[in-house]
Amino acid sequence: MRFSYIEPEFLIERDLERCIRCQVCVRQCAFEAHIYDEASDVVTADSNKCVGCLRCVTMCPTDALIVRPNPTSFKENANWTGRIIKNIYKQAETGGVLLTGMGNDRPYPIYWDHMVLNASQVTNPSIDPLREPMELKTYLGRKPERLDVTLKDGKVSLNTKLAPQLELRMPVLFSALSYGAISFNASKALASAAYEFGTYYNTGEGGLHRDLYQYGERTIVQCASGRFGVHKDYLQAGAAIEIKIGQGAKPGIGGHLPGEKVSSEVSKTRMIPEGSDALSPAPHHDIYSIEDLRQLIYALKEATRYEKPVSVKIAAVHNSAAIASGMVRAGADIIALDGIRGGTGAAPTTIRDNVGIPIELAIASVDQRLREEGIRHQASIIAAGGFRSSSDVVKAIALGADAVYIGTSALVAMGCHLCQICYTGKCNWGIATQDPYLEKRLNPDIAKERLMNLLRAWEHEIKEMLGGMGINAIESLRGNRLHLRGVGLTDSELEILGILPAGR
């Protein structure tokens, strides 16, 4: 390798008094940052190779390792930060587009942290969810504006037949994470956790592995611009179909699965040659306008006999509200909005970090726009993009989302340490990899249990927050922005979010 100007991002420090030279670190690092020197019986490290995933630190049986950010700094300034300088060195060395994984890590405002929730005091009672019913059940799909009910001889009868709906135990689903971007074990964990818990996971544009058809009734199958893995049985297998137009991490560009990750199983599932880069086109080449979207929506509905809701997912961009309105009118039963902090397995860093808008603003403007047009009932809104906690979920519902997709949170629950190197295929945690040696590190049974624990924990917390507000059903929070107040926001931000400042 040519001499590089790039300093290591992390330093690996080993406490030699604690190191027992067991070499677990050596065996666990796919980047070969740890080296065992047999002659001297010592383990050494090459910090240049360290990605900061902490696999070695976690596995070290004697806690002999510390991995910490390299304190060496450039002579940086406000404009020329170390990150910028390093990026230029990288590009000068390689001449390539900078790639990254996971969601936007730039310090854009996180509006969740500038909104606070309400609670009942005196004038109405808060509700104790441990003692009283607290309902989180959510249905996603197109609803009619009104029901036709007749009363005859004291008996009501319903004359309206509803469009197909997704039934969720609570308003959280697993986001689109494709098989290929993530390992089979990770996909299986998501599928089985969604199935057992009573929510849904999303195939992303990775197709559906034959061993995962058994979870079909809790699967949202995605149809993206590359049409990877899309065929009749695939469409038929899911509970809903999602047309992926865009993704929050990379609005305006297509998916990118490096050939290293296209293993034989991925190749079969995606129906592409083994080892080839799976680059889905930036647009759907059969959707150049809203009426084209309508055609695809109805083609998919026809293909599945109108038995499944069709979702359309877009990246949250400047005019999301107008686009969303068009999508609803084009026949989408569910609108998925993916904000600027949404994750990815691989994206050009500059796109991830600079394109799109925060999901909070997108939810608020889309919900408001659909209401102004009187078509809010025609589609459910799923919000995505960096949801970190149950309180983020509650705030999103209060802003107007019907449900929330979690991707990164789910990955973190399975063990992801956010080291952002998913695109290398060398995930030491067995999640974003197809390497059979690494993939085994994720036990799908353990991962499933961890995912379900996360959902259960959030479920409890959401119930507590609802109860505090004196609400015992999630639909009474949905779009109920009076339970939110802004802290430290400008007037325009408050206006877009449709909330009052705290204290008023």
Point out which residues bind another protein (CB under 8 A).
17-18, 20-24, 27-28, 59, 61-62, 120, 122-125, 127, 132-133, 135, 137, 139, 143-144, 146-147, 149-151, 156-158, 160, 162, 165, 185, 371, 374, 376-377, 398, 430, 435-437, 440-446, 469-473, 475-483, 498, 500, 504
Choose between 15 and 76: whose C-beta lies nearer to another protein: 15
Q: Which residues contact 267 (CB under 8 A, 6 or more apart)?
A: 273, 274, 275, 276
Residues 30 and 434 sit within 8 Å (Cβ to Cβ): no
Choose between 172 and 340: whose C-beta lies nearer to another protein: 172
Output the smallest distance, CB 418 to another protein, in A.
Answer: 20
Q: Tell me the C-alpha distance between 80 and 311, whole Å.
A: 43
Name the one residue in this structure whose structure tokens are 């560009």: 253
Choose between 139 and 213: whose C-beta lies nearer to another protein: 139
Choose between 111 and 228: whose C-beta lies nearer to another protein: 111
Write the single-letter amino acid at 410. Answer: A
Residues 219 and 201 sit within 8 Å (Cβ to Cβ): yes
Q: Tell me the C-alpha distance between 442 and 428, whole Å.
A: 10
Q: Tell me the C-alpha distance between 301 and 454, whole Å.
A: 34
Output the smallest distance, CB 364 to another protein, in A.
Answer: 12
CA-based angle 428:275:448, to the nearest 5?
40
Choose between 205 and 439: whose C-beta lies nearer to another protein: 439
Residues 217 and 239 sit within 8 Å (Cβ to Cβ): yes
- For 124, the token pair is 């109405």
Choose between 45 and 296: whose C-beta lies nearer to another protein: 45
Question: Which of 332, 444, 435, 431 lies closest to 382 in space, CA to CA?
Answer: 332
Choose between 147 and 303: whose C-beta lies nearer to another protein: 147
Q: How far is CA 87 from the centre of its chain?
A: 26
Output the smallest distance, CB 281 to another protein, in A.
Answer: 34
Q: At what angle do helices 359-372 and 320-329 cross, to 10 degrees?
A: 50
Output the smallest distance, CB 221 to another protein, in A.
Answer: 23
Output the smallest distance, CB 444 to another protein, in A.
Answer: 8
Choose between 7 and 135: whose C-beta lies nearer to another protein: 135
* Residue 412 CB coordination number (10 Å): 17
Residues 473 and 462 sit within 8 Å (Cβ to Cβ): no
Choose between 218 and 478: whose C-beta lies nearer to another protein: 478
Choose between 25 and 224: whose C-beta lies nearer to another protein: 25
Choose between 130 and 299: whose C-beta lies nearer to another protein: 130
DSSP 38-69: TTTTEEEE-GGG--S--HHHHH-TT--EEEEE
344, 349, 352, 354: CA torsion to nearest 10: 170
CA-based angle 122:123:128, to the nearest 5?
65
Q: Which residues contact 319 (CB under 8 A, 6 or more apart)?
A: none
First to last CA, the chain: 62
- For 312, the token pair is 């359309």
Output the smallest distance, CB 408 to another protein, in A.
Answer: 22
Q: Tell me the C-alpha distance between 60 and 54, whole Å.
A: 10
Choose between 210 and 440: whose C-beta lies nearer to another protein: 440
Choose between 18 and 68: whose C-beta lies nearer to another protein: 18
Helix (H, G, I), strand (E, B) or coil at 100: strand
- What does each C-alpha distance from 495 to 12, 86, 395 come to in angstroms? 48, 39, 16
Alpha helix segments (H runs only) across 264-358: 264-270, 290-303, 320-329, 349-354
Q: Tell me the C-alpha distance between 194 and 217, whole Å.
A: 10
Question: Which of 49, 36, 81, 64 lies closest to 419 in space, CA to CA?
Answer: 49
